[in-house]
Amino acid sequence: MLAFGILAVILLASAIWTVSAKKPVYSVVALLLHFAALAATYLMLNAEFLAVIQLIVYSGAILILFLFVIALLSSGVAPFSVGPNKMPKLAIPAVVLVLVALGAVTVGVAHLVVPVATSTGGSPVGPAGTADVFGSVGDFGKALFTTYLLPFEITALVLMVAVIGVILLAGDRSPYVPSQKQAREVRREMREAIVRGGDR
């Protein structure tokens, strides 16, 4: 409970820091801290695989690309002095609505507590070769490739479409490169032109 409290404070503080930081790179650092704390929270819930994937995919790949872009674009630029945009009036009822919806979902879920295997006793450091428990890599894999095979495949397809879309949008803007055959042709014509010029 104490660990959860500490993590919750870190999660909230880093989330607020992420949106309120004046420099974009500070936002990235805050978000990195947030992801690390989130991974630790997953570990506390015995979701070992999810914790690891959170770090590998979000911190190790996605966030670093954010940093890549921000570092290139904002280097030497003065931080935003104006801060974030003013909140429009319409946003207040929207925020209230979202909070109510979230609260309703939380209460609903609290009544629907699913019994969970706790054989690792909440500790990520289990003895080697523990049987597949909830959230372990083996368990996760089995669920993904048997029960949820169709959603898994559909997600893969959607991602594939996204990748193809990116390639199309980025486009092939390489300069025109003649083929070997065309290059030979051009060289031959030039040689002939030179030879003709010499005859004259």
Cα 59 to Cα 36, 51, 66, 156, 185, distances in angstroms = 8, 11, 10, 21, 52
Q: Which of 12, 19, 56, 92 binds another protein (CB under 8 A)?
A: 56
Residue placing its CB nearer to another protein in the complex, 11 or 33: 33
Cβ of residue 168: shortest distance to another protein, in angstroms? 18
Q: Which of 2, 73, 75, 176 binds another protein (CB under 8 A)?
A: 75
What string marks each residue from 123 to 162 as x (binds another protein by CB under 8 A) or -? -xxxxxxx-----xx-------------------------
Q: Which of 68, 80, 145, 148 binds another protein (CB under 8 A)?
A: 68
User: Is-contact 43 13, C-beta < 8 A?
Assistant: no
What string marks each residue from 84 to 123 as x (binds another protein by CB under 8 A) or -? ----------------------------------------
Tokens of 162: 């996204």
Residue placing its CB nearer to another protein in the complex, 130 or 182: 130
Q: Does 71 bind another protein (CB under 8 A)?
A: yes
Element at 51 (helix H, strand E): helix 48-53
The number of helix segments (H) and strand segments (E) in the chain equals: 8, 0
Q: Which residues of 55-80 are buried (b: 16+ CB within 10 A; e: fewer)?
A: beebbeeebeeebeeeeeeeeeeeee
Tokens of 113: 């507590």
Residue placing its CB nearer to another protein in the complex, 108 or 129: 129
Q: Which amino acid is at 50?
A: L
Give the C-alpha separation, 181 to 105, whole Å. Answer: 67
Site residues (vs another protein, CB under 8 A): 23, 25-26, 29, 32, 36, 39, 48-49, 51-53, 55-56, 59-61, 64-65, 67-68, 71-72, 75-76, 124-130, 136-137
